[in-house]
Amino acid sequence: MPEPRTWQLTTCSVVLGLALAAGAVTATGPWDNGQRKAERARAAATAPTGGAHHAPAPGPAGPPRPAPAPSAAGVLRALATPHTTRPADLAATLVPLLADPGLGPLRTASVVDATTGEQLYGEGATTPMTPASTIKIASSVAALSALGPDHRIPTTVIASPDGRTVTLVGGGDPTLDRTRLKALADTTARALKGRGVTAVRVAYDTSLYQGPARHPIGVDENIAPVSALMLNAGRLDGSVSGIAARSTDPAGDTAAAFAELLTTSGTKVQGAPAPGRAPQGADGAEAAPLARTESAPLSALVERTLTNSDNDLAEALARQTALARKQPASFAGAGKAVQAELAALGLPTVGARFTDGSGLSRDNRLSAALLTGLLTRAADPTRPALRPVLTGLPVGGFSGTLKSRFDTGPALGGAGLVRAKTGTLKGVNALAGTVVTADGRLLAFAFLAGRTPSPYTAQPALDHLSAALVR
């Protein structure tokens, strides 16, 4: 049984680490899009809930875990105190753990003091690796940097000059749900009634996005066709996160739902919705909208992206960055924009490659040093706009993709203290995030592994590495 002093240190560190949550640790969703089928299968095999719910299985109650703290006020300032964590100590701790055969033959690591930016440990830290879903950290930082945390993604309705056609215009918001779509239809119907219009044709405009809609991996339940107009990310089962059957035509289905709701609101719809371009104003710009709905602020979208590893949202963030940087809103344009935005932040992007925003592509390349650099920028008190990247990271043993991890063995010490983004593809496993050490130091870390034999061995090895930083 641990000595009382050890429990005091652990409890203090848990509370301090959880304070970084800033209200994001209870994010929604039983399963995230970025958790690949292997991770989902593992949870299904270890919990009787089959992966649909992350509540622990019934059994003997262990020591109570502290509840996540509701805010992060003053936490980063509190961490600016003398520390005893030394690079030599980290090397002695991490080298044997990195030799775990579960991590495969390719592994890189970077551990940085998030307050000073000092690298405390590195192994192949600048070597580009396939990052899987940890690339979402980059997509999130780029979007927040380019647009700011208060940016919202609009969906609008624009009427033709005679009011006989209304065009539903997608702005790139995959979080549009039926409640907001109904409100948009109700507002549209009232506006049409005020103009004396009782019947319209419905068109829909997805021209904001360019290039292929399908991700290069093809048809996959982890992601819908990437469209500027989609209802609930094209999900067909009513879910809000996780693997799900997807619409093959998200924009057309959204327009059909809008037409149905418009009819319910008292406006007759003539014919089936059809693709079209929204009318322009006299100056050539988009005409004033008849009705408008907006997403949650970008800060909330980033938190949701990271906590749930939401692929559809990650692609939307990358495309919003492309639009802000005057690049085509396509896979290629988004990649260029994200890389340029990160370079402008002074981050080491040499050798980096961004072929998507979600990490589903095996052609992506990020280094462990770039990932810790991103996390250090997010922790910088002079860059408060980037803070949602920290508050959105899943909490070990509590939320998102880490809710069912850090629950046994040496990794248990990281529960509540490790906040990290997971990355999982077949043969690729990664973990990048932050941890508060026993002496109150905030560390940013990134561990990337390639050619891993199995997620069942790679994930515990990564968890042990990050939990060891606590000590």
Residues noted as catalytic? 133, 136, 309
Return the sign of the alpha-carbon dihedral for residues 428, 361, 244, 404: positive
Give dist(CA 248, CA 232) in Å, integer.
13
Beta bridge partners of 199: 268
Beta bridge partners of 205: 169
Residue 424: Cβ-neighbour burial (10 angstroms; 0-12, 13-18, 19+): buried
Kind and range of the H or E run holding 122: strand 119-123
Return the sign of the alpha-carbon dihedral for residues 41, 306, 136, 448: negative
DSSP 66: P
Kind and range of the H or E run holding 180: helix 178-194
Residue position matching structure tokens 């052609």? 363
Contacts of the segment 360-365: beta carbons below 8 A, 24+ positions apart:
360/215, 360/217, 360/220, 360/222, 360/223, 360/311, 360/425, 361/215, 361/216, 361/217, 362/130, 362/425, 362/428, 363/130, 363/216, 364/130, 364/131, 364/132, 364/135, 365/128, 365/129, 365/130, 365/131
Kind and range of the H or E run holding 465: helix 455-470
Measured CA distances, 419 to 14, 20, 398, 406 (Å): 11, 9, 10, 11
Residue position matching structure tokens 């009318």? 279
Measured CA distances, 107 to 17, 299, 372 (Å): 26, 32, 15
Measured CA distances, 80 to 338, 381, 443 (Å): 31, 11, 12
Contact 315/172 with Cβ under 8 angstroms? no
Give dist(CA 361, CA 131) in Å, integer.
9
Q: Which two tokens stand for residue 92?
A: 């002695």
Report the relative pairing of strands 428-436 and 154-159 from DSSP bridges.
unpaired
